[in-house]
Amino acid sequence: MLLILAPDLHVFVLLVMLKGLANASAMPPEQVLVRSMLSDAQIVANAGVMTAADQATKICAPLIATVMAALLGPWSGLWLSAALALLATACLIPIPSAAQKATSHTAPVTSARQLAPLLALLRSSHAVRVSLGCVITMSAIFGLYDPLLALFLQAQGLPASTFGTLVSCTAAGAVCGALGFPRLHRWRGHRLAPAGLSVVGLTALVPGVLAGLGIGTPAMLWLGLWILNGCGYSLTVMSLGVAIQQQCPRHCLGSVGATARSVQLVALVATPLLGGLLARMIGIPLVLALSGSLAIAGGWFWAGRARRGDAARQDAQDTMAEQAGP
């Protein structure tokens, strides 16, 4: 609502920053509620459904906003957003009573330094280590090449609308990944995160290598690659969310989820400067190729860690079974 009343651009930008902070603040309590109300199998299915709904909204909302702006003026989209926000606030009214019932048997909240619960979880859970490592690697890779993508498309002679189309393709790919996530997670478990990271790397490597060789990337290939990009991204991020919700103790779930998200954002924000420096030194095509190569190498590394962790856990289970036998 305040965005509509912003007197100038500076206040508008400040309000957008506060809006982003509010969006990030909603994640920890959401994770706690999901863990309290759902079983492990339902958590996996819920991750797929919620991600699909979120990404589908990102596809439909710009189309609705464009139509409203054309018919009713540029401020109509903000009025609609404000109305939906008020409706969502009304839907939150019954949550406290439901949450109190769901969390009545959980352990009390304990005070600790912000990083301590996450570090303890990383020491105890192999799935969280692998998934968080993949997400941090992927965020750093996105920071390297994503701010340069619009310039790269322009240099390739593609129209300005291509970037917006790629964003929609990314969301469409994320929807596909979300719909297939429950079945894929039952098949691959936490090893799904390295696979998703490698797919993201491949989508950056191919256009970078082609441009480096002086070969233009066809528009249809761009669309297909960015559908894969969105799919790989969603599979990696959902793997981390499910791993934290299943492995983290309930009393520190909100703190761990928020800290993990903060670490991911630090990686995403810190690397664009390096990406811009590399672009001036070696060119944007090589930055994309380097980013893709690093992501694929990271996927290979974390896949190896996942296999070694699974083998070590299986050996421990076999040893315990032998000691318990006659």
pLDDT tens digit sequence for 165-191 = 888 889 899 999 999 998 898 888 888
**Phi, psi dihedrals of residue 157, rounded to the nearest 5°:** 80, 15
| 234 within domain boundaries | yes
Distance of CA 310 to the CA centre of its chain: 24
pLDDT at site 98: 56
Q: What is the mean pLDDT of the segment spanning 144-164?
A: 85
Give the model's pLDDT for residue 314: 61
Least confident of 37-51, 62-76, 213-227: 62-76
Residue pair 32/219 in contact by the 8 Å Cβ criterion:
no
Higher model confidence: residue 29 or residue 133?
A: 133
Q: What is the pLDDT of residue 207?
A: 93
pLDDT at 3: 58
pLDDT by residue (tens digit) across 59-92?
777 677 767 767 777 666 667 777 777 787 777 7
Q: What is the DSSP letter of 252?
A: G
Number of domains within the chain = 1
Least confident piece of the model among 91-95, 101-105, 260-264 = 101-105
Q: Is residue 45 part of a domain?
A: no
Domain membership of residue 148 (yes or no) is yes
Residue 256 confidence (pLDDT): 86
This prediction has a pTM of 0.79
pLDDT of residue 232: 94
In a domain, 27, yes or no: no
Q: Does some domain include residue 268?
A: yes
Whole-number pLDDT of residue 228 = 95
The three-class DSSP label of residue 73 is coil
**Which residue would you say has higher pLDDT here, 72 or 113?**
72
Structure-model confidence comparison of residues 27 and 194, the more confident one: 194
What's the pLDDT score for residue 322? 55
Instruction: Tell me if 102 is assigned to some domain.
Output: no
Q: Which long-range contacts (CB under 8 A, 24 or more apart) does 220-224 make?
A: 222/153, 222/158, 222/162, 222/166, 223/165, 223/166, 223/169
Domain containing 148 — which CATH number? 1.20.1250
Q: How far is CA 157 from the centre of its chain?
A: 30
Confidence of residue 1 (pLDDT cuts 50, 70, 90): low
Q: How far apart are CA 230 and CA 130, in angstroms?
A: 20
- The strand ranges marked E within 36-129 are none
Q: What is the Cα–Cα distance from 190 to 193, expressed in whole angstroms?
A: 6
Confidence bin at 142 (pLDDT 50/70/90): very high
Mean pLDDT in residue range 198-210: 94
Convert the pLDDT of each residue in 237-286 to its tens digit: 999 988 988 888 877 887 888 888 888 888 888 899 899 899 999 999 99
Residue 226: what pLDDT? 93
What pLDDT does residue 141 have? 94
Query: Over 60: is that where the pLDDT of 111 sits?
Result: no
Query: Would residue 326 count as lying in a domain?
Result: no
46 has a pLDDT exceeding 70: yes
Domain that holds residue 166: 52-61+116-308
Average pLDDT value for residue range 208-221: 89
Q: How many CB atoms lie within 10 A of CB 202?
A: 18
Q: Residues 202, 228: contact at Cβ < 8 Å? A: yes
pLDDT of residue 215: 87
Residue of 269, 205, 193 lying closest to 233 (CA atoms): 193
- 107 found inside a domain: no
**What does the DSSP assignment read for 169-233?**
HHHHHHHHHHHHHHHHHHHHGGGHHHHHHHHHHHHHHHHHHHHHTT-PPPHHHHHHHHHHHHHHH
C-beta of residue 226 within 8 angstroms of C-beta of residue 170: yes
Rg, Å, the chain Cα set = 22
Question: First vs last Cα of the chain: how many Å apart?
Answer: 70
Mention every residue, 6+ apart, whose C-beta is less than 8 A from residue 35: 43, 245, 248, 250, 253
Select the more confidently predicted residue: 164 or 302.
302
